[in-house]
Structure 1
């Protein structure tokens, strides 16, 4: 299984990046997970041409080639970061690589609610007709109190959260398999 994981921020340090690296390591026997950074990407402008930006074209292709997408979204002022919103706008304007693509949303935050509001907003955005992603319903990984749940090696040490992550990832893998079976039957 080939997954493409998007760090939903362009910040130098992010617990969401740490979470994706942990997921990449923890589930390496189940999936090949490539992590995508949102650094040095142009802000979306509908008057601009995506084809001028090789990095955006590369991301579009990797989304298309992946069996599924994982987006780790922090929460800034009850919303997703501008860098992630801009990428999604690029991927919905003249190209549509998210169309019918299975997506898992995860998120880490300093607060106790994880990134619940950002995840809700992200689900709404991904449901837009221009994106039309298949986000696994009812499957949320909301990691709160992140400054206390990772050790210095980047391992998630909270056992309850680890089990929750295991369950979410397992459900997502099943979701991808069902999605591919449905496509093959058509």
Structure 2
């Protein structure tokens, strides 16, 4: 009697980081929940991706859905030609582009016609991530750029070990801190990731 094949672990969540601060937050969520993910960033966030350059970046990482699925281990339904159980979260500040570009990003209008359109979830921080962190009580005041790396790596540490008790609860608490803030929808990423571990 042959062994049954184990179902492969597919990537359910992709994340495009504006810069290093967003990269730290994404890694914090993904590694603490042990979610199979694909994180897209320039030099691990050391170089920023601007809203105005997003489409060029997306065209670079995705020519079509089938090749994207193969490259990043996302489940692909060849009959419907669609990705299965996958979302691509894109987290951007809105203070480095025009008001129209910011609105087109938040409404998804700027992604119209792109193969990943149906899977994209824009995550916004108005005007920027630091202002959201201050409103959430996570940061007491806005800090200079040269202090951000140290701050975010300390407040949002990666977890490379086995899943420990309380890690999911820690992410839930983070979600509740940002949920009341109208200037961001970061809780959508957190809710989605928590749902993934509940389904495992």
Q: What TM-score range do you get, normalising by the shorter chain?
A: 0.3 to 0.5
TM-score normalised by the chain length of structure 2: 0.41
Which structure would you say has the larger Rg? 2
Higher RCO structure (Cα 8 Å, ≥6 apart): 2
